[in-house]
C-alpha cells in the first residue's frame, strides 16, 4: 500500500512537471502528449486527472507553487511600497513570461474564477503589499482593496496575452507593467471627474 502510494505520487509529480513543460511550449497540446512526456500511460494519467480541464488546473497550481518559491525570496517589507511593488511586478512578470503559453492554455480551459482560485497565494502577497502601501500613504485608498488586487492580476495576465498575440514586445512588457501598475495604485493624479 505504501509502495503503491509512493508510485502514485511519483506519477503525479511527473505528470505535473511534464504538463508545465509541454503546455508552456504548446498551449493546445493534448493530454496524450503530456502523458508521453511524463512517461506514463493514458489510463494512469486519466486515473489521476479525469479531464483535460482538471489536468490544466493542476498544472497551473503546480506552476504557481513553483513561482511562489521564487517570489517568496523577495524582500517586499523593507523597501518603500512603490519600490517593493516594482520589484514584485518585475519578478512576477519574469515567471509569468516563461509560462505565457501555459497561461493561454489555462485561459482557454478554465473559467476565470477557477484560474483566480489557483492564484490565492500570490494574490495574498499582492494584497499585503498594497495594504501596507495604503497605510503608508503611498497607494490610493479611494478604491476597494479587492478591486486593486483583482485588477493587478488581470493586467499581468493581459500582458501575457498581448505578448503571445504579438501586440506587445516581450522585452518591453516588464517595464510597461511596472508603469501601468504604478499608475493604478498611486494616489489619484487629478481631482475626480
- Taking residues 76 to 95 in sequence order and writing x for each that binds a copy of itself by CB under 8 A, - otherwise, the string is ------xx--x---------
112 binds a copy of itself (CB under 8 A): yes
**Which of 58, 66, 95, 143 contacts a copy of itself by CB under 8 A?**
143
Q: Is 29 helix (H, G, I), strand (E, B) or coil?
A: coil
If one asks whether residue 74 binds a copy of itself (CB under 8 A), the answer comes out as no
Helices (H) and strands (E) in the chain, counts: 10, 0
Answer yes or no whether residue 167 interacts with a copy of itself by CB under 8 A: yes
Size of the site for a copy of itself (CB under 8 A): 41
Residue 128 Cα to chain centre, angstroms: 17
Q: Whose Cβ is closer to a copy of itself: residue 22's or residue 109's? A: 109
Q: Does 2 bind a copy of itself (CB under 8 A)?
A: no
Rounded Cα distance between 82 and 40, Å, is 47
Whether the Cβ atoms of residue 42 and residue 32 lie closer than 8 Å to each other: yes
Residue 155 sits in the site that holds a copy of itself (CB under 8 A): yes
First-to-last C-alpha distance (Å) of the chain: 67
163 in Cβ contact with 100 (< 8 Å)? yes
> For cell 495594504, what's the residue?
131
Kindly report the length of the chain. Answer: 193
Q: Is 97 a binder of a copy of itself (CB under 8 A)?
A: no
Taking CB under 8 A as the binding criterion, the range among 12-20, 62-70, 126-134, 151-159 that sits at the site for a copy of itself is 151-159
List the grid coordinates of 149. Answer: 488586487
Instruction: Report the interface residues with a copy of itself, using CB under 8 A.
Output: 82-83, 86, 104, 107-108, 111-113, 140, 142-144, 146-147, 150-151, 154-155, 157-158, 161-162, 165, 167-168, 172, 176, 178-180, 182-184, 186-190, 192-193
Amino acid at each position: 500500500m505504501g509502495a503503491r502510494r509512493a508510485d502514485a505520487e511519483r506519477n503525479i509529480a511527473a505528470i505535473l512537471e511534464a504538463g508545465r513543460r509541454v503546455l508552456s511550449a504548446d498551449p493546445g497540446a493534448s493530454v496524450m502528449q503530456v502523458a508521453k512526456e511524463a512517461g506514463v500511460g493514458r489510463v494512469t494519467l486519466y486515473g489521476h486527472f479525469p479531464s483535460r480541464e482538471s489536468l490544466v488546473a493542476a498544472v497551473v497550481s503546480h506552476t504557481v507553487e513553483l513561482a511562489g518559491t521564487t517570489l517568496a525570496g523577495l524582500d517586499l517589507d523593507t523597501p518603500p511600497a512603490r519600490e517593493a511593488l516594482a520589484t514584485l511586478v518585475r519578478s512576477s512578470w519574469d515567471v509569468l513570461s516563461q509560462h505565457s503559453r501555459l497561461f493561454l492554455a489555462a485561459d482557454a480551459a478554465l473559467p476565470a474564477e477557477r484560474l483566480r482560485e489557483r492564484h490565492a497565494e500570490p494574490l495574498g502577497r499582492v494584497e499585503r503589499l498594497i495594504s501596507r502601501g495604503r497605510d503608508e500613504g503611498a497607494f490610493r485608498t479611494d478604491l476597494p482593496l479587492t478591486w486593486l488586487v483583482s485588477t493587478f492580476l488581470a493586467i499581468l495576465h493581459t500582458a501575457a496575452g498581448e505578448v503571445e498575440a504579438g501586440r506587445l514586445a516581450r522585452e518591453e512588457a516588464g517595464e510597461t507593467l511596472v508603469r501601468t501598475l504604478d499608475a493604478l495604485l498611486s494616489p489619484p493624479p487629478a481631482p475626480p471627474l
